[in-house]
Amino acid sequence: MVSVREVDAQKFNTLLKEELKKIKEINPPAWSFFVKSGVHKERPPQQEDFWYVRSASVLRRLYLDGPVGVERLRSYFGGRKERGSRPAHFRKSSGSIIRKILQQLESAGLVEKNSNKGRKLTPVGRKLLDKITYEVSRQ
């Protein structure tokens, strides 16, 4: 059996993104096209399917890191904030985007809350990711 760690992350996220587009509970809110993905970014995401790309990436992180909360995911998706002539500093990404994605994944049955440790994958979510992993390994 092939693990998520052993396949190319970019190909994995691309196939998972297409699968997530088929799930009716996962759809971008109206405001998601106008907000930045974090304070460290200068502009909102230019990708049309940014919401699905970020959802696929969040699912992959849940698979790899086990129970994960919003704060750890904010740190993972954060980046360097350029401050002009002053030195750059690390800033976390938007918590609202991650929280809404986790809530949508939870309503779709792919993720569930873990007692005081964030969220983890359900057996249905793990099965979906294993199926995508197998497809990527065959390519």
What is the structure's pLDDT at 91? 92
Residue type, 20: L
Q: What sections of 1-94 are H helices per DSSP?
A: 9-21, 50-65, 70-77
Mean pLDDT, the chain cut into blocks of 10 residues (139 residues total): 85 91 90 86 86 92 89 92 93 92 92 87 91 89
DSSP letters, 96-129, are: HHHHHHHHHHHHTTSEEEETTTEEEE-HHHHHHH
pLDDT value at residue 41: 86
**The domain containing residue 60 runs over which residues?**
4-138
The total number of structural domains in the chain stands at 1
Whole-number pLDDT of residue 73: 92
Query: In this structure, what CATH number is given to the domain that contains residue 132?
Result: 1.10.10.10
